[in-house]
Amino acid sequence: MMFGRVALFVTCLVDQFFPQVGEATVEVLERAGVQVAFPEAQTCCGQVLANDGFRKEAAELARRFVEIFEPYEAVVAPSGSCVAMVREFYTELLSGTPWEERARGVVHRTYELSEFLVRVLEVTDLKARFPHRVTFHPSCHLLRGLGACGCAERLIRSVAGVEFVPLRHPEACCGFGGVFSVKHAPVSEAMLQDKLSDLEVTGAEYVVSTDVSCLMHIEGALRRRESPVRTIHLAELLASR
């Protein structure tokens, strides 16, 4: 399928903390034959506000998102979590307002990167090369929120040189959960500990994910312990040559 205008919703975390993931996303999309636009007015999907209880504020950010991305044929984000927020909560947040219908339109054309590549563009081979042992942590929102198409794993397996070792419990949450990670830090840390033990068993050099939120959580603990294991976003993996 060909697209005229595809907008990148880079997400606030990628924009601020992981610009290289945004660049890799652009690189991968362009390699797949897509022209990428970056609407400059964009900021955040509002999930942090919605999940902390600030409905009115989250609704305003949802309205803003719809307004900014409405002109595009598709919206692609390197994040399962932000896309799940858009899909699961935008129509509810904007229900009863004139924006509800407009939101519905945008919601239906907002995609997570791996699902956009595999399901919409039907591209599974991006001619990437990454000669390392890797494992994959699917974010909860990718796995359960977006209904697990297995797209990300297919893409990882298509990368030349990759030695893929699955996690024993890929479905387990890493314990991030946005505000949960600070509001219930001890529980969050204990969940993260389980994830790290799982990672260790695989002997992987890199842990891949579709979400920088999980990755920064996992990496925070890896760095603190001076672990040699590295984190890498799926887009970066696919952009590697």
In the complex, minimum distance from the CB of residue 96 to another protein, in angstroms, rounded to a whole number? 12
Q: Is 181 in the site for another protein (CB under 8 A)?
A: yes
What's the CA gap between 240 and 131, in Å, rounded?
10
Name beta bridge partners: 6.
36, 74
Which residue of 175, 232, 238, 239 would you call a contact of another protein, by CB under 8 A?
175
In the complex, minimum distance from the CB of residue 169 to another protein, in angstroms, rounded to a whole number? 10
What's the CA gap between 164 and 130, in Å, rounded?
11
Which residue of 180, 205, 227, 230 would you call a contact of another protein, by CB under 8 A?
180
Query: Whose CA is closest to 74, among 33, 36, 26?
Result: 36
Which residue of 130, 134, 156, 177 would you call a contact of another protein, by CB under 8 A?
177
Residue in this structure with the two tokens 């529980």, named with its chain if needed: 187
Residue (87 or 162) nearer to another protein, CB:
87
Q: Is 75 in the site for another protein (CB under 8 A)?
A: no
For residue 117, the one-letter residue type is L
Residue (46 or 69) nearer to another protein, CB:
46
In the complex, minimum distance from the CB of residue 239 to another protein, in angstroms, rounded to a whole number? 14
CA dihedral 177, 180, 184, 189 (to 10 degrees): 30
Hey, what are 63's tokens? 């309205």
Q: What is the chain's length?
A: 241
Q: Is 90 in the site for another protein (CB under 8 A)?
A: no
Contact between 29 and 6 under an 8 Å Cβ cutoff? The reply is yes
Q: Is 188 in the site for another protein (CB under 8 A)?
A: yes
Q: Is 186 in the site for another protein (CB under 8 A)?
A: yes
Q: Is 192 in the site for another protein (CB under 8 A)?
A: yes
Residue (58 or 126) nearer to another protein, CB:
58
In the complex, minimum distance from the CB of residue 129 to another protein, in angstroms, rounded to a whole number? 23
Enumerate long-range contacts of 99-105, CB under 8 Å, 24 or more apart. 99/62, 99/63, 99/66, 102/66, 102/70, 103/62, 103/63, 103/66, 105/70
Query: Whose CA is closest to 69, among 112, 94, 105?
Result: 105
* Residues in binding contact with another protein, number by CB under 8 A: 67
Hey, what are 145's tokens? 């929120």
Q: Is 144 in the site for another protein (CB under 8 A)?
A: yes
Q: Is 32 in the site for another protein (CB under 8 A)?
A: no
Residue (93 or 162) nearer to another protein, CB:
93
Hey, what are 78's tokens? 């390197």
Hey, what are 101's tokens? 């219908």
Contact residues toward another protein (CB under 8 A) are 10, 12, 14-19, 21-23, 26, 38, 40-44, 46, 48-55, 57, 60-61, 64, 88-89, 140-141, 143-145, 171-173, 175-192, 194, 216-217, 219-221, 223-224
